[in-house]
Structure 1
Amino acid sequence: MLILAATVVFSAMDGVSKFLTGSVPPVEVAFGRYVFYLLFLSPLLLKGGRRTLTTVLRPKRPVLQVVRGALMLASALFFITALADTPLAAATAIFFVCPMIQTALAIPLLGEKVGPRRWIAVGAGFVGMLIVVRPGGDPIGWGAVLALGSAVSWAGAVIASRRIGTDDGALVTSFWTGFVGLVGAGVAVPFVWVMPSGGDMVLMAAMGAFAVAGHVLAVKAYALGEASTLAPFTYAQIVWAGVIGLAVFGHVPTATTLLGSAVIVGSGVYIWHRERVQGRASA
């Protein structure tokens, strides 16, 4: 229930991001998200006192934290920009080829071995993405490329997270994700700045609140259940994205989007299954 709630919250955050791209540049949307993310995260940082603050500000893996934060920022910028002219459900479906990209990157970056069945699932996932994109038919356009770039960046951030391991806690990583994102977006935002309206500011605050709430829900979920058990439920985000896209933006998912999403979800679940089987075999 917690991980499903997290997918709802993250979908809502993406929906707000898409709405804001109608009046605010994507970089500024990302900047606003990070500003309010850190503001809402600050009570959790201050609650632990000086010792917690010292731990947060002095990570054990600072270089990896910066790299991970930069990749997370790139993923956010790519995805928010994609949302400007791409239906929410389609962009989310394309983004969820991330587990396939992560599997491919794990070979050169983590030294993992991937068997032929997982490679077939990776290939099937990319076929699902092509079904959503519909090359040669009625293409989604650059939004699809940007959503794929977001997935690649996110997969790199996941690899960085696995390299960090348990050296730094969740609160440390959360802070550095926000801090690096704020600095990175802050460098670019003066060049595209548009004065946001009061309503835009409220929506940016909502994005920050959704980001922190989603993170807290996910952390609690993974504290109570095994990651291998919870992973398939994250694909529910594609469903919520479709619901929000229909209810808020009037986007009716096409048959090809639904079919491609089903192929992507099936591929991702099979990769999860094979990783779980191999984990048991090596235990």
Structure 2
Amino acid sequence: MTEQNTRLGILMMVITTFIFAVQDGISRHLGGEYNVLMVVMIRYWFFAAFVIAVASRKAGGIRAAAATTQPFLQGFRAILLVAEICVMILGFTLLGLIETHVVFACYPLLIAALSGPILGEHVGWRRWAAIGVGFVGVIIILEPGFGVFQPEAVVPLMAALMFAVYGLLTRYVARKDSAATSFFWTGTVGSVAMTAVGIWFWEPMIASDWVWMGALCITGALGHYTLIKCYEVAEASAVQPFAYLQLVFASAVGITVFNETIRLNVALGAALVVAAGLFTLWRQRVRSKG
């Protein structure tokens, strides 16, 4: 059993969120220049090669990593994640990094709300209250009733819902499968599914953007590696609150690189969403220890 090292786990989570924020900035650039499906397809080719390489180095090799009694669930969650990534990058190109990430930040609340019907977990009144506060924050961000409601704002909300269901399914399959098996299926099935769709949208890419594409692939693999290491050394409940730093880092990239601005309603709504999300994570930790 790996000795729990919470301080190292928190550091790894901070590094992970920074890497993913950089990856999101590169995704926004490439998604604005080329078809999103092609960009995600190339990224997943590298991701699949990475998970196969990781699996081949472990005991039992690829056969052990691929072994599962729930192939349809594993396949579905892999396809759901790759679809969520496409939707998220579309959000970056339509709304920018800041507003997409602020709306997407509600996904822990969706996980809490859906954990009852999907996993059969009990959600108490305190967490339901926090979920309600969080969605008030989302409404403040989206501004319905103030001028024209942006239909584009639904895009990151869809991505958050997809990612929440993916997260819950990952917890569900973990009852029978190891993290290594889920990781293997995520990369390989996602790559096959994305190739079947993305290959029809191939576009020639200029040399400088191939450099950015390479950086996107490397940050994707590196981010997943640091995330795996993070969960190896510390409990998920201890490090998960620090995942919200991705919102901070992505906002910094949006402001400095893409000249985005943070509107007052977005800042207020984000504060409510993050506060509610942190509370639900804290309540989940309290219940798991009780």
TM-score (norm 1): 0.93
Q: Is the 1:15–1:245 contact (alpha carbons within 8 Å) kept by the matching residues of 2? A: yes
Q: Which residue pairs with 2:33 in the alignment?
A: 23
Q: Which residue pairs with 1:94 in the alignment?
A: 103
In 2, the alpha carbon distance for the partners of 1:31 and 1:143 equals 23
Q: Is the 2:75–2:189 contact (alpha carbons within 8 Å) kept by the matching residues of 1? A: yes
Gapped runs of 5+ residues in structure 1? none
- The one-character-per-residue Cα deviations of 1:23-48 (angstroms, maximum 9, x if unpaired) are 11111121121112223344323323
Amino acid at match of 1:31: M
Q: Is the 1:78–1:150 contact (alpha carbons within 8 Å) kept by the matching residues of 2? A: yes
- The one-character-per-residue Cα deviations of 1:105-129 (angstroms, maximum 9, x if unpaired) are 1111111111111111111111111
Percent identity of equivalent pairs: 31
Task: Look up the SS of the partner of 2:32 in the other structure.
Answer: coil
Q: Is the 1:32–1:205 contact (alpha carbons within 8 Å) kept by the matching residues of 2? A: no
Q: Which residue pairs with 2:179 in the alignment?
A: 170
Q: Is the 1:102–1:158 contact (alpha carbons within 8 Å) kept by the matching residues of 2? A: yes
Q: CA deviation at 1:266?
A: 0.1
1:189 paired to 2:198: yes
Q: Which residue pairs with 2:57 in the alignment?
A: 47
Q: Which residue pairs with 1:203 in the alignment?
A: 212
Task: Look up the SS of the partner of 1:195 in the other structure.
Answer: coil
Gap change, CA 1:59 and 1:138, over 3 Å in 2: farther
- The one-character-per-residue Cα deviations of 1:119-140 (angstroms, maximum 9, x if unpaired) are 1111111111122222233667
In 1, the alpha carbon distance for the partners of 2:70 and 2:143 equals 42
Amino acid at match of 1:38: A
Q: Which residue pairs with 1:270 in the alignment?
A: 279
- The one-character-per-residue Cα deviations of 1:45-78 (angstroms, maximum 9, x if unpaired) are 33237x2211123234322211110110121111
- After superposition, residues 212-251 of structure 1 pair within 5 angstroms as 212-251=221-260
Amino acid at match of 1:280: K
1:2 paired to 2:12: yes
Task: Look up the SS of the partner of 1:22 in the other structure.
Answer: helix
1:32 paired to 2:42: yes
Amino acid at match of 1:33: R
In 1, the alpha carbon distance for the partners of 2:146 and 2:266 equals 13
Q: Is the 1:40–1:208 contact (alpha carbons within 8 Å) kept by the matching residues of 2? A: no
Q: Is the 2:51–2:188 contact (alpha carbons within 8 Å) kept by the matching residues of 1? A: no
Gap change, CA 1:65 and 1:139, over 3 Å in 2: farther
Q: Is the 1:81–1:143 contact (alpha carbons within 8 Å) kept by the matching residues of 2? A: no
Gapped runs of 5+ residues in structure 2? 1-10
Q: Which sits farther off after the overlay, 168-177 or 77-86? A: 168-177
Gap change, CA 1:52 and 1:140, over 3 Å in 2: farther
1:147 to 156, 160, 168: 156
| RMSD over equivalenced CA pairs, Å | 1.7
Gap change, CA 1:83 and 1:93, over 3 Å in 2: same
Q: Is the 1:59–1:172 contact (alpha carbons within 8 Å) kept by the matching residues of 2? A: yes
Q: Which residue pairs with 1:63 in the alignment?
A: 72
In 2, the alpha carbon distance for the partners of 1:108 and 1:40 equals 34
In 2, the alpha carbon distance for the partners of 1:160 and 1:144 equals 25
Q: CA deviation at 1:197?
A: 2.2
